[in-house]
Amino acid sequence: GAGVSQSPRYKVAKRGQDVALRCDPISGHVSLFWYQQALGQGPEFLTYFQNEAQLDKSGLPSDRFFAERPEGSVSTLKIQRTQQEDSAVYLCASSGTLNNQPQHFGDGTRLSIL
Amino acid sequence: EDQVTQSPEALRLQEGESSSLNCSYTVSGLRGLFWYRQDPGKGPEFLFTLYSAGEEKEKERLKATLTKKESFLHITAPKPEDSATYLCAVQDNTNAGKSTFGDGTTLTVKP
Q: How far is A87 from chain B (nearest CA, A)?
A: 15
Report how far apart the first and last C-alpha atoms of chain B are (Å, whole number): 41
CA A74 to chain centre: 11
CA distance A59 to chain B (A): 9
pLDDT at A99 (0 to 100): 63
| Cβ–Cβ below 8 Å for B43 and A102 | no
To test the contact with chain B by mutation, choose from A6, A100, A110 the residue with the greatest count of B C-beta atoms within 10 A, namely A100
A86 Cβ contact partners less than 8 Å away, ≥ 6 residues apart = A64, A79, A111, A113
Q: Average the pLDDT over B25-48 and give the result.
A: 95
A48 in contact with chain B, both atoms CB, cutoff 8 A: yes
The answer to whether the Cα torsion of B77, B80, B82, B86 is positive or negative is positive
Pairwise CB contact (< 8 Å): A45 & B96: no
Minimal C-alpha gap between A24 and chain B (Å): 14
Note the pLDDT tens digit of each residue in B57-90: 999 999 999 999 999 999 999 999 999 999 999 9
Evaluate if residue B53 carries a pLDDT over 70.
yes
Residue A70 has what pLDDT? 95
Given CB atoms, is B104 within the 8 Å cutoff of chain A? yes
Q: What pLDDT is stored for residue A101 in this prediction?
A: 77
Which of B46, B85, B93 is the best mutation test for A, with the most CBs of A within 10 A? B46
CA-nearest of B75, B43, B23 to A25 is B43
Q: From the first residue on, what is the mean pLDDT of each consecutive set of 10 residues in chain A (114 residues)? A: 91 98 95 96 95 94 96 96 97 81 93 97
Q: Taking CA A87 as the corner, what is the angle to CA A83 and CA A89, rounded to the nearest 5 degrees?
A: 145
Q: Residue B93 has what pLDDT?
A: 84
Our CA-based measurement puts residue B26 at a distance from the nearest CA of chain A, in whole angstroms, of 16
Given a cut of 70, whether residue B18 has pLDDT beyond it is yes
- The pLDDT assigned to A2 comes to 81
Any chain A CB within 8 A of the CB of B51? yes
Q: Tell me the pLDDT of chain B averaged across its residues.
A: 95
Q: Give B92's pLDDT tier (boundaries 50, 70, 90).
A: confident
- What are residue B45's DSSP bridge partners? B37
For residue A106, the chain B residue with the least C-alpha distance is B43
By DSSP bridging, strand B10-14 and strand B105-110 are: parallel
Q: Touching check for A55 and chain B: CB below 8 Å?
A: yes
pLDDT at B94: 83
Chain B hits for A50, Cβ within 8 Å: 97
